[in-house]
Amino acid sequence: MTNSPLNEEGLRRWRLVLGGEAEGSCGKLSGQMAEMDQALAALYDADGKNGLGKSSERRGGRGGSSPSVARWLGDIRKYFPTSVVQVMQRDALERLDLRELLLQPEMLESAHADVHLVANLIALSGVIPASTKETARMVVRKVVDELLKKLEEPMRSAVTGALDRSQRNRRPRHSEIDWNRTIRANLRHWQEEYRTIVPQQLIGYGRKARSPQREVVLCIDQSGSMAASVVYSSIFGAVMASLPAVATKMVVFDTNIVDLTDQLDDPVELLFGVQLGGGTDINGAVGYCQSIIREPRNTILVLISDLYEGGVEANLLRRAASLVESGVQFITLLALSDEGAPSYDRALAAKLAALGVPSFACTPNAFPDLMAAAIRKEDINAWAATHGLVATPKGQS
């Protein structure tokens, strides 16, 4: 008997319900159904070989957290309705042993709190019991504070050093002293006995401008695969927002767009305002960013996305061309993390490169220098090559 389209659809659904063991009788899945099956298997397969479920060899909560968890949490929001997602998230909370971790502060103190654990907690924030939310915030705060200690000063130094300092003054405050020029101007006052220079004349930078010299817009894809990038972007966004000479805005998106600029003063609150996972509408997000740009020639737009567009690609490319033509420095980061270049849409990256929008993955350590180069309006492709970062060539597909 030949299967009708209806019967074939029914078999695929039964295969999805029954799992991999039913492949012989129900047939093999492909396309979106195969991806849905993979997401289900990651949580419910009994053998625990998928990296998400429990197994006899896995201890939850004490080792490094898996980067795949946040990505999986994003996938289920993409493929399943909200009611099903809530059930799967609750099951994940139990199967990942995160509930035990969250309920016992002493375990949190011994856990390896890293960027990926933060991403997982943010993704699960909607189902974490109210009584344990403060514990989750404690973990996030711990990681955020550690990252700030590591990244704040390089970011602050790189950005402030790149800003326009052409105006000088001879009576600078301590924070305004240009030490390089001051030392050069006072070399003749070298004191051999003390092996130091006693400066007779201080040279300082010009007084800080009343209005920002640069506008930076961070436009961040919050799909599950970009989880680590969201965490790092929030840290850097908060640092830049604290600099009077830089007007920083932060926008996150999936199929919805959320402007988190008002929360940049507190990276932890900002991160809990992120909703990891879901679809992707890059065109809509870039369109929103375009609408909030006031001075295109003084604006740096950083799109952080793997470029898998769920919106209208042709409209995105038109917007990108318009932004570049208006003078905006438009840069695409395929990732802002230590994990290297992710899977990304190479064809779209090449089309953007042809419009003057370079695309490459960037590490957190390199990001301050990238922003400094953008502020100085350097050739970003040349900067990327100098730092060993491979930008997508024009015309590559």
pLDDT of residue 369: 93
CA-nearest of 119, 51, 113, 396 to 275 is: 119
Pick 35 or 375 by higher pLDDT.
375
Write out pLDDT tens, residues 310-349. Answer: 888 999 999 999 999 999 999 999 999 887 667 889 999 9
Look at 49-53, 139-143, 144-148, 256-260 and tell me which has the smallest mean pLDDT: 49-53
* Short-list 345, 310, 133, 136, CA closest to 223: 310
**Angstrom distance (rounded) from CA 389 to CA 161:** 22
Mutual angle of helices 67-79 and 227-241, in 10-degree steps: 100
The pLDDT score that the predictor gives to residue 303 is 97
Evaluate if residue 251 carries a pLDDT over 90. Answer: yes
If phi over 0 gives left and psi between -120 and 50 gives alpha, with beta otherwise, what is residue 255? Answer: alpha
- Give the whole-number percent of the chain exceeding pLDDT 90: 30
Give the distance between the most distant pair of CA atoms in the chain: 102
Separation of alpha carbons 242 and 249, rounded Å: 12
List the chain domain ranges.
33-51+68-110, 169-205, 214-387
Q: What is the pLDDT of residues 344-374, one digit of tens each?
A: 899 999 999 999 999 999 999 999 999 999 9
Higher pLDDT, 194 or 67: 194
List C-alpha distances in Å: 289 to 248, 301, 302, 373. 12, 8, 10, 21
- Class at the top of the CATH hierarchy for domain 214-387: alpha beta
- State which amino acid sits at residue 184: R
Are 264 and 270 a contacting pair, CB within 8 Å? yes
Number of other CB atoms surrounding residue 386 within 10 Å: 12
User: What would the mean pLDDT of 45-68 be, rounded to a whole number?
Assistant: 45
And the tokens for 287?
Answer: 């369109």
Reply yes or no on whether the pLDDT at 66 is more than 80. no
User: Which two tokens mark 341?
Assistant: 């270049």
Instruction: Give the model's pLDDT for residue 68.
Output: 61
Out of 75-79, 202-206, 284-288, 355-359, pick the least confident.
202-206
C-alpha–C-alpha distance, residues 378 and 385, integer Å: 12
What is the spatial distance between Cα 313 and Cα 177, in angstroms, rounded to a whole number? 48
Parallel, antiparallel, or unpaired for β 214-221 and 246-253? parallel
Would you call 246 helix, strand, or coil by DSSP? strand
The 3-state DSSP class for residue 45 equals coil
- CA 109, CA 103: separation in Å to the nearest integer? 12
pTM: 0.69
Q: What is the pLDDT of residue 304?
A: 95
